[in-house]
Structures are given as structure tokens and as C-alpha cells.
Structure 1
């Protein structure tokens, strides 16, 4: 069990927070992402610096093939739609990632590390009954591994 590395002081963002408020929270707390919660305190998403970068970039163009004047999209259309949605976002609810990978308090550190690597994510909320009870970052895992050696 990894409870000794579970950061229980979780900095969260309200789902109705403005993009400016989200950027301020991340900056003030020197973090690169935060769970998004609703008024009941339940996890509804996660917002990261990467999400905020979409406000300053153009949507990534999907791959397509032009056959007799018709565009047939072969990949990236969903990513383009997500990019465009984030470009127009004004609130955390509109820019956050909703498909959040979480763990419970009994998950082994090796499983958490594998989730991070396999899904290219930097933090994993620890959730119990849809409420956040902690968060684990890549730095937390590295610190724990350093203590083992």
C-alpha cells in the first residue's frame, strides 16, 4: 500500500471557476494540474496546464483524404473537436478532461506508476465514493522509489 506517499492536501478547482482563476490556482500553488470538483465536492474532471495551452493554440487539424472533392477523415477528428471545444472554453467545466483515471486507497505503488506510464499522465487522484481523499504525482512516486534505495 502507498498511503505514505499519498498527498492528502489536494488543491482542487471548482467546475465553475474561470480559466483565469484556474491558471491562477495552478500558478500560485506551483502545480501543473488539479482535480475539478462540483458543488457537492465530487470529482468531475481534471484540468492541466496542457488543457490551458489550448486557449493559445489552433486546433490540431485531423488527417483526411480528398477523393473527388470529398474530404474523408482518417484520424484525429475527435481530437480536433476537443481542441476546438477547449479553444472556446471560459470555465473549468468546459476545458477539463472528464475521463479521469483514479485509484483507491489500496492500490499498490507499482500499479499507480504503470497507470501513469501507460496513459501518459502526471497525477492520479485517490478517490473514495467519488470524493477525492488524496492525489499522487509522478514526483511522489520518484520520492518513494528514492527512499527504497
Structure 2
């Protein structure tokens, strides 16, 4: 049996938003379309980033202040001010560009299902955008992988 690829199982119909989409519109889109992730795409169809439910829920949470110790009168941060700054930026974000995650793991439609499943497990990912010729062409979720396993065992 030939190995199935990402192109065989990916979602080809999905909701996207532009970088200037407001946070309120993103919330509406997620609720209306019952999705947990919205890819953010530029005018040319290239992936700019993703906004997740967690990103939007974070707006209701106070950013966690970094842990620190006082050493010789100076504060030494061991949880990193960078994490606090990221949290504060998400809290204050008004649009997708300010809220989105830009460091996104992506896949090729030619990748095998086994490869994508391995990446999802090792990186603790729920969704991976599929890129072909620098354009977003699909999405693969854990549910797609489970459906593929189901077909293998029951097919």
C-alpha cells in the first residue's frame, strides 16, 4: 500500500483572516465557524501567522509577571521578562497582526502522514498549515491523523 500524504488528508476548505482583522472579528469567526485556529494570510496568499483560541482567551488573563530574586540589590529575572512582554503584547493586541504567532511549523503537501504525525507529537501541535509554492493550501489537525488511523484499522 502506498504511503498517504498530507495532501490526501488535509482540510482544503478553511477560514482565514487578514493581518488587519480585528480581535473582535477573529472571535466572531471562531465562534461562527466552530474553529480553534485561524490562519492569517497576506494578500498574496502567503501565511503570515496563526491565531488560536488560546491567543484570544489570553486577552482575559493578566500577563504573568516574571519570577525574580534580589541579588545584591539587583533584580535577577529567571522566568524572563521576554515572556511577560509577550503576554502583555497579546493582552493589548487589537488585530491579528499584533496577536498572531508568526513562528509556525508548516508542512508540504508531499509529506507523509507518518512524518506530520511525528512532528505533531514531538512539537505538541494541534494543527499544521500546509504550504505549497509559498501559499496556504490546507490544514492538518490531530483529527485528520486520527481519521487516518481509524481508516487503517477498520478499512
TM-score of the superposition, structure 2-length normalised? 0.91
Whether contact under 8 Å (1:61, 1:76) holds in the other structure is no
Q: Match of 1:46? A: 50
Higher share in strand: 1
Task: Work out the CA distance in 1 between the residues paired with 2:6 and 2:102.
Answer: 25
Task: Work out the CA distance in 2 between the residues paired with 1:37 and 1:143.
Answer: 27
Task: Work out the CA distance in 1 between the residues paired with 2:133 and 2:126.
Answer: 22
Question: Aligned residue pairs: how many?
Answer: 149
Aligned pairs for 1:1-149 (under 5 A) are: 1-149=5-153
Change (3 A) 1:8 1:110: same
What residue ranges of structure 2 are gaps of 5+ in the alignment?
A: none
TM-score of the superposition, structure 1-length normalised? 0.94
Bigger Rg over Cα? 2
CA deviations over 1:82-129 (Å, ceiling 9, x no partner): 111001100000000000110001111111112212222211010012
Structure 1 runs (4+) deviating above 6 angstroms are none
